[in-house]
Structure 1
Amino acid sequence: MSRRGRFARMVIGLGVALAAGAALLFGSPAQSGEPQPLPLAATWPNAARGSVPSKLPDGSEYSPALFLDAKTSIGTAQSADSTTLRLVVRDGDGKLLELRKVPAEHHAPFAALTSSGDTLFWVESVSGKQQLWSADRRDPKTARMLTADVGAMQFYDSEHDLLVADGRVRWVSSGTGDETEFRSVALTGGAVTVTKQKGTWGLAAWPWAADGQHSARGATTLLNLQTNATVRTPSADRTVTACSAVWCQIVSINQDGYSRIDLAHPDGSARRKVIEGNVATAITDVAVLDRFEVIAKTTTQSDLTGNQQLLVHDLSNRHLVLVSPDAGNISYRAGVLWWSTGDQSSFVRNSLDLRTIP
């Protein structure tokens, strides 16, 4: 986890702890004017949804890493004999297609999955060495390594850790000292191009990158990698800022000790409060699809279950929607939000394709 992520969770955790103590002593303070969440089914009745059992038919655990739609996912699973780890495509009917497999001794060998059309891209780590791979999602025979010249790749649990733009696959690696390498390779492989920038940067929607990946205050600048233009982002003491190319998320603690989440454009305009209370940002990415802010809210049951309310704030109309009252393991990639319900011994992963919301 990056320093920014640890600090954000520390700030949010402090707010939750203070609020919990106040509630025990005085009862929960009234937060007048806070929006009441709307039910998912009534608010977005036509949104595509799905569910994925946590186990494959052979009994092995399945962990989705990317959804192509609400019912089709790509993820990892052990083989039935536990000797290999597999990268598989699981369609809406439960059919499986194995794309790759590596010996099970390698921990978390598949990372940063992304797609462009029917082509999948991922990072494969074997024996401590990282490689960039691709395959047609319908044909395992097309799986091949694009390059091993990836540098010291940096992942921030973002959908932009590995992205496809302008005919190239792009990522960041740490350089020498306080330096970031922006690397890319053609979709067919070949020579890797490298440009360097002082600071710790992560990719946002192309062609933008955000700095402050290891900073307690988060992002202070957006950089256009095509023009070298920069935008100073909203940043202040006792806040943590994270930015996409269109929106910046500013997390702070209010005077009652609760977390407050604001959104503003990178130039500081159109700033508005999204929510405050026992809340936290549920995913790394900010205002996904330039429209939806994904939020987790701690409830009285959270200490018992370890789960939280999963909420989505719709910037188009400022509606707050309750997606799940008891969600765990919240993830997002490429327009699809997914989470688990149940307990560790028996759970289901549920999905919501935000791209299908009108």
Structure 2
Amino acid sequence: MSNLRPLIALAVALTAGGVLLATVHRSPEAPRATSAPAPAPTPFAAPVSVSAELPDGADYTPLFYASAEVSVGTAPTPDGSADRLMLRAKAGDRELHRLAKGRYAQFLGFTAAEGQLYWAESSALADGAYETRLWRAPLDGPAAPVSLTGDMGAAVFFDSEYDLVIADGRVHWVAAPPDDGARTELRSVAVTGGPVTTTSFEGRFRHTTWPWLLSVDDTAPLTLANPRTGERRVVTKAAAEQVVCTPVWCRSMVTAAGDRFLFDARHPDGSDRRRIPGDLTAITVDNAVAGRYEIFTTYRDERSALVAYDLQTSALLTLTADTGVSATRAGVVWWHEGDAWKSVDLR
């Protein structure tokens, strides 16, 4: 594989139904007032807090939470010579892997299943080429990480909880085809490693709730597809809507006057549509977090609040009244507050 193809795949804009989002959401400097009604009190457990600084003084940035108590993230070595992937839990901190700064490491696609953590790692080789390698490590215990494969093709990551999917004893991901055609490579490898299987699938897609795929081609109708059965469902949407879906729920966004975003929750066929109140900014390409919540930031009293819209009750619930950095994946939402990272498991 040439140097360029993995770079193209890894630099894909975080696009899902036309919605563009940053890897970690940072609130704009100039807040806007909101006329949204005061939200209902949160029913969630008290946030779990962990220091934003490691004992050796390095800044820690979480990238994934397996639970509210167990996080995985990056921190430089104290001398700044390498990037470390760290696992933090009540039992203590554990270094999973480190790469020299000159390797330009990217840690991607985190997911966890049955006590195991999985992730992809892109880094530069000595000859200037890039490789993307899939890894596995236990969430508990001292066992070292193992590489499952380096045959990931032109893997594409959307900063989605579905970038890597564990199902049927295998790790699944999508990759761009070698000829840049309007197709998707559906790739997988056993959770124990081994040969990679590759299936070509017509259209450009990413994974959503297993085994469904969601199209990511703005030139074609928004489509949910099941590669197992061959079923394809075109999502009902207006031309001005930017929509992201699971097979059950969709989040719709339109731009209103003053560059405000208006969000609706609805089903893929357009039914049960309701407006989500407030001046909101979505913080993730995924919708229906934990199967139930849409996660946003909104401004109140010149502060950025983090809120969850409950798809079952239509209540807008406050997670924290003041945050600047926030993210969510696989049912856990986390944010930076003071000198700590705080997290809540929504599952």
- What range describes the TM-score normalised by the shorter chain of this pair? 0.7 to 0.9
Match of 1:318 in 2: 314
Gaps in structure 2 of 5+ consecutive residues: 1-11, 22-27, 125-129
Match of 2:107 in 1: 110
Match of 1:351 in 2: 343
Matches within 5 A, 1:141-160: 141-160=143-162
- 1:300 is displaced (CA, Å) by 6.1
Amino acid at match of 2:335: W
Q: Paired residue for 1:206, among 201, 207, 210?
A: 210
Q: Provide the C-alpha distance between the structure 2 equivalents of 1:126 and 1:165, rounded to a whole number of angstroms.
A: 26
Amino acid at match of 2:185: E
Contact 2:72–2:85 (CA<8 Å) still a contact in 1? yes
Match of 1:305 in 2: none
Give the 3-state SS of the residue equivalent to 1:326 in structure 2. coil
Gaps in structure 1 of 5+ consecutive residues: 11-15, 303-307
Q: CA RMSD in A?
A: 2.6
Matches within 5 A, 1:170-249: 170-175=172-177, 176-177=179-180, 178-212=182-216, 214-215=217-218, 220-249=222-251
Contact 1:163–1:170 (CA<8 Å) still a contact in 2? yes
Match of 1:52 in 2: 50
Q: Paired residue for 1:2, among 5, 13, 20?
A: 13
- 1:150 is displaced (CA, Å) by 0.3
Match of 1:283 in 2: 284
Contact 2:14–2:285 (CA<8 Å) still a contact in 1? no
Matches within 5 A, 1:260-339: 260-275=262-277, 277-299=278-300, 301=302, 308-339=304-335
Give the 3-state SS of the residue equivalent to 1:297 in structure 2. strand
Q: Provide the C-alpha distance between the structure 1 equivalents of 2:93 and 2:207, rounded to a whole number of angstroms.
A: 32
- 1:245 is displaced (CA, Å) by 2.7
- 1:181 is displaced (CA, Å) by 0.8
Contact 2:203–2:215 (CA<8 Å) still a contact in 1? yes
How many residue pairs are counted as aligned between the two chains? 321
Contact 2:14–2:20 (CA<8 Å) still a contact in 1? no
In the TM superposition, what whole-angstrom CA distance separates every residue of 1:107-148 from its partner, at most 9, and x where no partner exists? 243221111121111111221210111122234544111111
Contact 2:241–2:254 (CA<8 Å) still a contact in 1? yes
TM-score, length-scaled by structure 1: 0.82
TM-score, length-scaled by structure 2: 0.84
- 1:163 is displaced (CA, Å) by 1.2
- 1:104 is displaced (CA, Å) by 2.4
Q: Provide the C-alpha distance between the structure 1 equivalents of 2:20 and 2:343, rounded to a whole number of angstroms.
A: 25
Amino acid at match of 1:113: F
Match of 2:120 in 1: 123
- 1:35 is displaced (CA, Å) by 4.2
C-alpha spacing 1:6/1:286, structure 2 compared with 1 (3 Å): closer
Matches within 5 A, 1:69-84: 69-84=67-82
Contact 1:336–1:354 (CA<8 Å) still a contact in 2? yes
